[in-house]
Amino acid sequence: MSEIQNKAVALATQNEGDLTSQSAAGRALPYLESALNLYFALGGDQAQAVVLAGAEPSQTPRVDVSVANLLVEIAVASHLSDIDMIQATYNRLDLELMPLPRNR
């Protein structure tokens, strides 16, 4: 995993406790809340969000393809907002992630 992914998982663990007992499906709600926050920050419409949330997927999406699609859209949103998506993430991690104790 990349450094930023490791740090993000460490922050989630710091805030929520041990993640090993969670399933990927158990992360669906926190993900949806974050995605909706970005949707509305970009000017998304509440009525359209309700329509999208109620739509049935035409096929079962794959996690790898969905993650890739999501990251492409985040990159475009970051570009259009003139922010660096990685730097924005590091800023949050640096602000909130407590340093790990060092072994002596």
Phi then psi for 19, rounded to 5 degrees? -95, -10
**Residues 16-66: pLDDT tens digits?**
999 988 898 888 999 999 999 999 999 999 999 999 999 998 888 899 999
Phi then psi for 72, rounded to 5 degrees? -65, -45
**In terms of Cα–Cα distance, which of 101, 102, 34, 99 is closest to 73?**
34
**Residues 57-97: pLDDT tens digits?**
888 889 999 999 999 999 999 999 999 999 999 999 999 99
* pLDDT value, residue 58: 84
Residue 104 pLDDT exceeds 60:
no
52 token code pair: 């999208």
Q: SS3 for the chain, per residue?
A: CCHHHHHHHHHHHHHHCCCCCCCCHHHHHHHHHHHHHHHHHCCCCHHHHHHHHHCCCCCCCCHHHHHHHHHHHHHHHHHHCCCCHHHHHHHHHHHHCCCCCCCC
CB 12 within 8 A of CB 21: no
Residue 103 pLDDT exceeds 80:
no
